[in-house]
Structure 1
Amino acid sequence: MIVAGVALVGPSAPSGAVFARALPVDAAESVVPNRVMTWNLCNPCGVSDVDRAAEIATYAPQVIGVQEACDREVARIRDFLEGYYGLKYHVAYGTVLDSLSRCGGSPWNPGGFGQAILSAAPMTDVVRREYPDGGSEDRGYLAVTTLVDGHSVRVFNTHLAQRRQESVRAEQVPVLAREVARHDRAIVMGDFNAVPEAPELAAMWKVGTDVDPECRPTPTGPCEPTTDWLSKFDYVFLRGVDPVEHGVRATVYSDHHPLLADVDVP
């Protein structure tokens, strides 16, 4: 039985899980170099990091931005992606809050909570910023420079104030937009907690466009929702980068659904 157990898990399997979840037959076989993905992981939701890793491995993006992420959870997801699916990612953490209730740990060493970026290529020039006012909970953005579609791109990941805090988001968005405007090529991912026509997003629409062409301040067609409550809250804004294909992929592992975008970087 011991020998059989070792054979099942394998010498390189990450600790804390017995076996990997099988991927769909049409799952990507390796990292897709021009694909990015944003996903609010939902925390606390009692979801297995094995399942989260399998969800990411199905699409194998070059870059993934996750929100409501605990640093230890992200580390486990990275290990599962490599140990089970052979997908190697670098990680940059954008922790804005130490949270024992959300992320566990000990009273003197609680887990870090916020956003993170996983990239198949190394990341440089990492910047972590908290917004002056996070609303009911500290919020911020994480920015890195990495490769997408074989070219250097500035990538941002953010999580804005909760959905009924419009006035707070109205102060946060210009802070982010000013930084994005400094770059000729940028991809901005995240949970903005607002629909496209929300007034507080005006500054973002001036510096980029969402990968979904139907999602605009004045909708031009059916804007694909990204949440269980059928709202468009999650975005991949592009600046100096061209959209190729996009899609929202339904999941049972969060109340937000992964938004994927294949892009062309000039």
Structure 2
Amino acid sequence: MTRPAPGPDQPPIPVRLVTFNTHHGVGDDRRHDLPRLATVLAAADADVICLQEVDSHFGERSEDVDQAVLLSRALDMQLAWGPAIDQPGRVGKPRRQYGNALLSRLPILVSDVHPLPGGGEPRSALRTLVELDGGALWVTTTHLSTRSADERAEQAALLRDLHTEPMATGVVVGDFNAGPDAPELAPLRESFADAWTLATERDDQARWRFWQRQEGLTHPARSPHVRIDQVWVTPGIAVAGARVLDGGGASDHLPLAVDLLVPSGV
């Protein structure tokens, strides 16, 4: 995939992006601890944070709070919300929701939610346009099915098709429940490239295990051995660095951070 360099009079725009499957704020100690999660996210010092498995008044497992709103307030970031499950609440209570969220230091211009095909647990994609200083970036946050490769292939095709021609500069991020080379992610590879592979500098939180160095492994958090949390970028976006962060025990996944260089003027 050819990646043209920005012109000399238009330097690329740096954007730090983090994706993190939060396991509805329940850590590997089985405790729901939203302040712990907020601390991990704040330490990432990201411009855009993409979250999966976020609860909003979902029930006792997350103390019936709106996690997305509370996290956005704690981090003083703008919020886009994309439920995959949306059910009526109890009488007099808010709707019971679960899905994806995007937190941003950058202005959020538009956002919309797209259901993904497949059975079992409902899945969705949250598509958001964020404004950059001299440009814009489409960010699609998602969480694919665990049921079958065939379902994930259908979902990956829809994600590819969501990114239309006018959306020349963008990323698709989240928990894909498959490795980046999995056959079912072939539709994504038609239009996007794996940011981890493109990164000039890479580092793995599990680097003390010499056989896992620079592999980007994110799950399970205590002993990661798969790379299912990924960032995919369109042609023209360079990746200065990628690293797996210390999750602080806040989830059963580890966060992935990438430093993007987004072309100006698009």
Q: Give me the whole-angstrom Cα distance separating, in 2, the residues matched to 1:53 and 1:64.
A: 11
Q: In structure 2, do the counterparts of structure 1 residues 52 and 150 end up closer, same or farther at CA, with 3 Å as the change threshold?
A: farther
Q: 65-74 vs 149-158, which deviates more?
A: 149-158
Q: In structure 2, do the counterparts of structure 1 residues 161 and 149 end up closer, same or farther at CA, with 3 Å as the change threshold?
A: farther
Q: Deviations over 1:45-83 (max 9, x none)?
A: 2331111111111012111110001131111112222xx
- Report what 1:29 is aligned to: none
Q: Percent identity?
A: 29
C-alpha displacement at 1:38, in angstroms? 0.3
Q: Deviations over 1:132-183 (max 9, x none)?
A: 32x3200010111103575211111011111x42111111110101122532
Q: Check if 1:38 corresponds to 2:19.
A: yes
Where 1:212 maps in the other structure, the secondary structure is helix
Contact persistence 2:54–2:67 (CA under 8 A): yes
Where 1:144 maps in the other structure, the secondary structure is strand
Q: Check if 1:51 corresponds to 2:36.
A: yes
Q: Deviations over 1:195-253 (max 9, x none)?
A: 122110001111111111179xxxxx963211114100011111131101110113211
Q: Give me the whole-angstrom Cα distance separating, in 1, the residues matched to 2:182 and 2:50.
A: 22
Contact persistence 1:148–1:265 (CA under 8 A): no
Q: In structure 2, do the counterparts of structure 1 residues 214 and 227 end up closer, same or farther at CA, with 3 Å as the change threshold?
A: farther
The one of 145, 151, 156 aligned to 1:168: 151
- Report what 1:5 is aligned to: none
- Report what 1:116 is aligned to: 101
The one of 78, 85, 97 aligned to 2:85: 97
Q: What is the TM-score normalised by the length of structure 2?
A: 0.75
Q: In structure 2, do the counterparts of structure 1 residues 44 and 65 end up closer, same or farther at CA, with 3 Å as the change threshold?
A: closer
The one of 63, 66, 69 aligned to 1:75: 69
Q: Give me the whole-angstrom Cα distance separating, in 2, the residues matched to 1:132 and 1:209.
A: 23
Q: Check if 1:248 corresponds to 2:244.
A: yes
- Report what 2:113 is aligned to: 128
Counterpart amino acid of residue 131 in structure 2: L
The one of 226, 231, 237 aligned to 1:236: 231
Figure out how many residues of one structure are paired with residues of the other and give that number.
218
Q: In the TM superposition, what are the counterparts of 1:140-179 in structure 2 within 5 Å?
A: 140-148=124-132, 151-162=135-146, 164-179=147-162
Contact persistence 1:131–1:172 (CA under 8 A): yes
Q: Give me the whole-angstrom Cα distance separating, in 2, the residues matched to 1:125 and 1:205.
A: 25
Q: Check if 1:227 corresponds to 2:219.
A: yes
Q: Give me the whole-angstrom Cα distance separating, in 2, the residues matched to 1:57 and 1:44.
A: 15
Q: What is the TM-score normalised by the length of structure 1?
A: 0.75
Where 1:92 maps in the other structure, the secondary structure is strand
Counterpart amino acid of residue 38 in structure 2: A
Contact persistence 2:180–2:230 (CA under 8 A): no
Provide structure 1 residue ranges, at least 5 long, that are not aligned to the other structure.
1-31, 82-87, 216-220
Q: In structure 2, do the counterparts of structure 1 residues 222 and 55 end up closer, same or farther at CA, with 3 Å as the change threshold?
A: closer
Q: Deviations over 1:14-36 (max 9, x none)?
A: xxxxxxxxxxxxxxxxxx96100
Cα RMSD over matched residues?
2.3
Counterpart amino acid of residue 245 in structure 1: G
Contact persistence 1:248–1:260 (CA under 8 A): yes
Q: Write out the 4+ residue segments of structure 1 that deviate beyond 6 Å after TM superposition.
A: none
